[in-house]
Structure 1
Amino acid sequence: MKLRLFALITSALLLTGCSSIPQSGAIGYGPDVTSGLNNDEVYYSQTGPYQDAGQDAILSGFLNAGNGPQNDYAVAREYLTKSFAAKWQPNKEVLIQQGIPRLFQVSETQYQVVVGVSGEIDEDGRYTELPAGSTKTATIKFAKVSGQWRISEAPDETIVIQPNFKVLFRAYSLYFFDPSLTYLVPEVRWFPSRVSTGTRLMNALLKGPSDWLKPAVVNVIPVGTKLNINSVTIEGGVAQVDLTSAALRISAANRPLVKSQISATLEQLSEVKSVEISIQRTPQKIAGYFDAQPPSLGTSPLALTATGLVRLNTSGAQAVPGTSAAVQQLNPTEFAYSQSQSKLALVSAAGVHLMRLDTLSDTPKLIDGRTKQLAPSFDPQGSLWTLTGVKGSPFVVTGINRTVLRQSAIDGVPLSFDVSPEGARVAVLYRVGKVNLTYVFPIERSKQGLPVSIGAPTQVTPAPKNASWVTWADGVTLAMLAKTSTGSTIPFLVTVGGQLVPSRAIDAGYSVVVNRTGQFFVLQSNGNVVESRGPSWVTISQGILALHVSGE
């Protein structure tokens, strides 16, 4: 199953950008364009340097020629000395330009370019949002070749103006396994969409996950494996992946897992329908592979009322069997419902209670008596995660065993949290000083899938600093709720390792969930549940105490 919501976010980013690529402006150059290309002819033509051009003209022409990546930036390389043209690596780093660059001539043969940047992407596609006001300085050196000025030194990078970035780049996921080899775990990377995208995706996959994610995942592909020929060819919808001899170490049992990783990664490209793997040009017969995607969220949200749980769908509020007695006994304010729909957790004044719904006459049992409990969360393995709104509070995980897990010290008070759909990560929203910050922690598990520890987190920098709620919308996307300066609230979708997309404002939002199809549902402080429908919010239920989607 592909990450539908993730694709919707990517589409939204494209729609908010320009429909064509700007051809002028200082430092406005970016790599590539739409998915599914089989050549570079869609790019507008660039012109090389004219006779006796001055340094200013050479610099401007070089920067603008970066918008034309045909033949590996052949026109841009015309502005370089031959020796430097052979060494220049424009895709080493991508800077996303903010504002107008400033150009300074510091000597007869040297310029400095100072540019404001809002974000950067490394050669493996990792996106980092930078603090407001960040700048980068590029040094450009010149030399004369046969009486003509040419650039002899420049950074191995390209600089993209924000509208170009939204047109040229797309977010993709690399896929790794959880330690139990049950579920695929995605990590977002950004690449320009063109003929070489499959090759760049494979190279990044072979290098493995980012450092922060390593404790939570396994790359079944052996360390040191590379593409035998640095190219993924696509013919008739089939991606041909030829690996080096290091791949011979893959056991017969793990070969379907390797194909699962590679297929999930490459089949995000619209032109790829299947994958064939070879090792040193010898085709590998891999009988089958499995989808390995975690259980998806439901389409109908679940709601807690004073008399029991109900499912909100087009037919109205449908009671969830077996929940009424426990709810009326405990008077809970929050709940969690397992992905298997066999377990229910209820948060009352006494703490968190757990009960089974697939066992007749089961009664709720107190499993965490701490005060200030936040909304709990089930992982796909069926364990219940609890956390309190107290600084330094550890996670308590109740499953086959009861495990206490302390996360890396964040000097803040937890406000909201949620375990990711495959159980490899947990997102936590903290109050830190006067702002609210969002972090995603890796969950280290045993080969049996049991949680062992919590690793050091990555901060989700695009997340709003005044958010009050966080939950997973899919494997790479967080749904969040934040207040506006006028007092209303706005739901957001935030890609972990990517950007932020806001929805429409709604009055007095308390919590937010997103279903499998990307639909927003917001619980308001007055107990009403509203659903996003086209340009408006529609009230679909009243008297609701808490709201979640099955699987949260």
Structure 2
Amino acid sequence: MERGRAVRADILTAVEAVRVRAAGNRAQELVAALLVVCFLLLTGCSAIPTTGPVGVISASEGEPDVVAPVFDPEGPAPGATPERILRDFITAGTGASEGYSVARQFLTPELQETWQPEERIVLFRSDPRVEKRETEGVYQIQLETTGTVDSRGVRTNSAAPSTETLGVRMVQANGEWRIDEIPDGIMIAQSSATDLLISHSLYFYSSNYRYWVPDARWFVRRTGVTARIVGTMLAGPAPYLQGSVTSAFPEGVTLARDSIPITSGKASVELSPEVLENATDLGLQQMNQQLQVNLVGLNDVTSVEMTSGQPIQLGEEVPDLIVPELTPDVGGEQVAIAEGELVRVRNGAIVPIDGLPSVSEFEPKAPATSVSGSAYSFVRADRTALFVTAPGSQVREVVAGAALTQPSFDPENWVWTARSARGRSEILALPPGGTEADAVTLAAGWLGDRSVKDLRISRDGSRALFVTDRGGSSEILLAGITRSAQGAPQTLTTPLSLPVTGPAGRPIETAKWAGQSTIVASSLGAGEEATPLILQLSGEQEAMAGLVGVLGISAGSDAEDTFYAQAGDTLYRRIGTSWVDEELKVVDPAFPG
């Protein structure tokens, strides 16, 4: 999946460069479109994941508008009981055509006018239970749920199935039972969800416009979903990303019509007049870039045209326009510890780091390095001190504390860590060359009494990944990072929870980024078998083969080719679904970041 995004990044970068330079030149613009078509045909690459569990499905190349397999539910049966009406109404929610016209037949005329089917989607795993209550006409539907999707397409999964009860009021209309009151939304069986829902990542700019930040959403798989994707993108990022990412589109800009025509690969996006208010060439070109990255590869889209009554001219190329990275590359080298010293692991060999001072006297553990390799950090073995160093520099102790986590470098070379302070976890970020006195302490009241076991900053610098523990129960949290204009971290947003439980109920103790939308996670323990997991922000979860004695994991730009696990002092690499001994005696390997 990350490899597909990297390919997509390369082609988008090339096409956008041509399109900006070719603004107003139709011939050159056509060449750019043809280049994309040729590339997509050669690679057969899809922009959306094609495999996974409930709610993850892709648009195939050549599909006109992500049209789902035909679901043709029946309307109300004459003389049906209230219980039958409710069960059939749930089934009718699978028919999205014509505005859920079949499902609306189960409602009273008044409710038909106001019912919002996609306000909330409840995913359930076993047959719904319908019960009559004591009050005449009052019923309830009980569901064993696995998750929900809200009106913005934000999905919330349950770590374990839970029960939800929906209250319903039935009345008789013309001698037939109909639903007069029921919460907005539809209910989808897990077995049907793969055919009914599509997962698609929206993209927003990082605060410095250097990176694309993915925002996984879910949409009902039906005609018009392309417009729904753009409309949702225009409405802004998911709550946990608000303030940490940026949209090029001014607040209030909407789609001017409910469809996006696609002609010869070009998507024509008609926008409301607000898009032109105080617009600059730079702003318009940034908007165009954002539409490109959100739509290219979906439904045969190879280029995008913005219109507002007429085609919007992007103007001359602006020197300040940055083409963001879609998949930041951290390279293939890792930093690790061998015989008490920091080393690099490169091409299956242990390589000394030129110019780096000896660190053995500081009992190094859990090292980290910046993407450029210009700075290194590690904690003492007892996790009471954090150190930084660099080639040609001395080793400096910069943070003292208890239960310090492995340091993490962000793209601005700030060093992040968490420590225990007064019974709570405290999040620190140190500027390049700084000391504890210069550190920014980021409030995270939402942690409560959870302790932080691992903290990793995303390669775009916009998100912080936490592994937390409360009484032996683990939780993975993803928070946005807000920054000043100078790039200094300021706050952490209220996080998104990624419910996950290790096999056999073992708690997750570590997690690492493996690209922009992928996380690898594992339990740890010298004498226990661990089953490392691969998690997608879109909800997929894949269990790897078990490995005894896992003490740490690491991942590069994807989880396919650069996923490693340390067991004892032996480094293993993922090959397919197996672990292969790299025959290297190193501990605590880590990719840059």
Which TM bucket (shorter chain)?
A: 0.7 to 0.9
What letter matches 2:72 in structure 1?
Answer: S
User: Which of 205, 225, 231 matches 2:233?
Assistant: 205
> How many angstroms apart in 2 are the aligned matches of 1:281 and 1:13?
41
Q: 2:308 aligns with which of 260, 271, 279?
A: 279
Please give the alpha-carbon distance, in whole angstroms, between the structure 1 residues aligned to 2:366 and 2:409. 13
> Which residue of structure 1 aligns with residue 439 of structure 2?
403
Residue number among 466, 478, 489 corresponding to 2:507 in the alignment: 466
Aligned CA distance change for structure 1 residues 458 and 58 (closer, same or farther; 3 Å) = closer
Compared CA separation, residues 114 and 286, structure 1 to 2 (3 A): farther
Deviation, 1:125, is 0.6
Distance 1:56 1:214, change over 3 A: closer
Say if 1:336 and 1:548, in contact at 8 Å, map to a contact too. Answer: yes
Tell me the residue number matched to 1:442: 480
| Structure 1 pair 54–397 and aligned structure 2 pair: CA distance change class (3 A) | same
**Please, what TM-score do these two structures have when normalized by structure 1?**
0.85
1:322 aligns with 2:354: yes
Q: What is the CA distance between 1:122 and its match in structure 2?
A: 0.4
Please tell me the residue identity of whatever aligns with 2:293.
A
2:489 aligned with 1:451, yes or no?
A: yes
- Are the counterparts in 2 of residues 345 and 376 from structure 1 also a CA contact under 8 Å? yes
Which of residues 114, 120, 131 in structure 2 aligns to 1:104? 131
Distance in 1 (alpha carbons) for counterparts of 2:406 and 2:417: 8
Please report how far the alpha carbon of residue 470 of structure 1 lies from its aligned counterpart in structure 2 after TM superposition: 1.6
- Compare 134-143 and 111-120 and name the one that shifted more: 134-143
CA contact (8 A) 1:227 1:243 kept: yes
Are 2:281 and 1:252 equivalent residues in the alignment? yes
Structure 2 partner of 1:78: 105
Partner of 1:381: 412
Summarize the Cα distance change of 1:33–1:88 in structure 2 as closer, same or farther, 3 Å threshold.
farther
- Partner of 2:294, secondary structure, is helix
**Aligned residue identity for 1:351:** A
Residue equivalent to 2:585: 543
Deviations 1:114-169 (A, max 9, x none): 21212111011111124645322334444445544444443321111122223432
Instruction: Give the alignment's TM-score, normalised by structure 2.
Output: 0.80
Distance 1:403 1:55, change over 3 A: same
Correspondences of 1:61-210 after superposition (within 5 Å): 61-106=88-133, 109-130=137-158, 132=160, 134-210=162-238
Q: How many residue pairs were aligned? A: 531
Partner of 1:393: 426
> 1:365: which partner in 2?
396
Matching residue's letter, 2:551: Y
Question: Offset of 1:309 from its aligned partner?
Answer: 1.5
Q: 2:2 and 2:567 mapped to 1: Cα distance?
A: 34
Residue 523, structure 1, aligned to residue 551, structure 2: no
CA contact (8 A) 1:460 1:497 kept: no
Residue pair 1:488, 1:508 contacting (<8 A) in 2 also: yes
From 214, 239, 242, give the equivalent of 1:214.
242
Q: 1:295 aligns with which of 328, 331, 343?
A: 328
Alignment correspondent of 2:86: 59
**Post-superposition offset of 1:83:** 4.2
Q: What does residue 27 of structure 1 align with?
A: none
CA contact (8 A) 1:463 1:500 kept: no
Contact 1:182 1:292 in 2 (8 A): yes
Residue 341 (structure 1) aligned with residue 373 (structure 2): yes
Question: Aligned partners of 2:219, 2:358: CA distance in 1, in Å?
Answer: 50
Unaligned 5+ segments in structure 1 are 18-29
| CA gap 1:326/1:195 in 2 versus in 1, 3 angstroms | farther
Number of the residue aligned with 1:351: 385
Aligned to 2:74: 47
- CA distance 1:455–1:522, change in 2 (3 Å): same
| Shift in Å, 1:51 | 4.1
1:548 Cα deviation (Å)?
1.2
Deviation at 1:467, TM superposition (A): 0.9
Aligned partners of 2:533 and 2:541 also within 8 Å: yes
Taking a change above 3 Å as real, the CA distance of residues 151 and 230 of structure 1, as seen in their structure-2 partners, is same
Match of 1:38 in 2: 64
**Alignment-mate amino acid for residue 586 of structure 2:** I
1:420 aligns with 2:464: no
Q: Secondary structure at the match of 2:547?
A: coil
